[in-house]
Structure 1
Amino acid sequence: MPEATDKYTWHKVFSSADEAKEQVALRKLQLLEVEGRAICFAHTPDGFFAVDDACPHLGQSLSRGTTNYLNEVICPWHSYRYNLENGRECDYRTRNAVLHPVELRPDGVYIGIRKPE
């Protein structure tokens, strides 16, 4: 569950959920740049998810990886798997991935970037 929206700046990345589905096919990933950050945008059967693109293990682009039936993004270098709902690496071998909330609104699909504290 995303935290209070005042902790985020919201960025429209698609004009609608239909456009997001057309641009990012089911079970696929796409690299987006949001507020100067590389974001891996995922479309899975459970919905849309956003995570920092750099793998916490060694920095490889997660958007070059794949997703699986467990709703995880899999790094293409060393197959580290990160849960798209909570960011946890499945075997606790490295730091968790940084997640960003995704909101579907009547006017589009938005990604929240946490404001500096």
Structure 2
Amino acid sequence: MEKKQARYTWHKVFESESEAREQVPLRKLKQLVLDGRTVCIAHTANGFFALDDGCPHLGYSLSRGTTNYLDEVICPWHSYRYSMKDGRECDFRTRKAVLHRVEVRAEGVFVGIEQTDASS
């Protein structure tokens, strides 16, 4: 069986990595809206991460939360912790967070939203 190649819609969110670092300081979060989708971008010691802003538990804004040294975003409402590496909630109490690709390129910082194929 052939594995489908993921396709992304790429959104330039910052003109440069230095602008991204200014807008989203280390251990901070920022809410962005990309094509009507609300996304939380996080900056940790391991780089930039992006995920849907609504907490999978009850929908509260993750961008109002915090991060920790484990590259987790912590929801400010009920303290659920989501890995920004695989989306899992640390205690498996709820579904995974939806993650998005982040690429730092010479021409800026981009967030990739995976395209869903309506025909599959």
Q: Which amino acid aligns with 2:38?
A: A
Deviation string, structure 1 residues 74-116 (Cα, Å, up to 9, x no partner): 0000000000111010000000000000001110000001112
Larger radius of gyration: 2
Distance 2:35 2:80 in 1: 26
2:99 alignment partner AA:
L
Who is 2:41 aligned against? 41
Which residue identity is paired with 2:48? F
Alpha-carbon deviation of 1:35? 1.4
Which amino acid in the other structure matches residue 82 of structure 2?
Answer: Y
SS in structure 2 at match of 1:22:
helix
Structure 2 residue 30 is the aligned partner of structure 1 residue 30: yes
The corresponding residue for 2:101 is: 101
Q: Which residue of 2 aligns with 1:86?
A: 86
Q: Secondary structure at the match of 2:56?
A: coil
Which stretches in structure 1 are left out of the alignment for 5+ residues? none
3-state DSSP of counterpart to 1:19: helix
Aligned twin of 1:116: 116
Q: Structure 2 CA distance, aligned partners of 1:112 and 1:34?
A: 10
Give the Cα–Cα distance (whole angstroms) in 1 for the partners of residues 95 and 46 of structure 2: 23
Structure 1 residue ranges, 4+ long, deviating more than 4 angstroms after superposition: none
Give the Cα–Cα distance (whole angstroms) in 1 for the partners of residues 35 and 104 of structure 2: 19
Aligned residue number for residue 20 of structure 1: 20
TM-score (norm 1): 0.94
**Deviation per CA, 1:39-62, whole angstroms, max 9, x where unpaired?**
000000010000000000000000
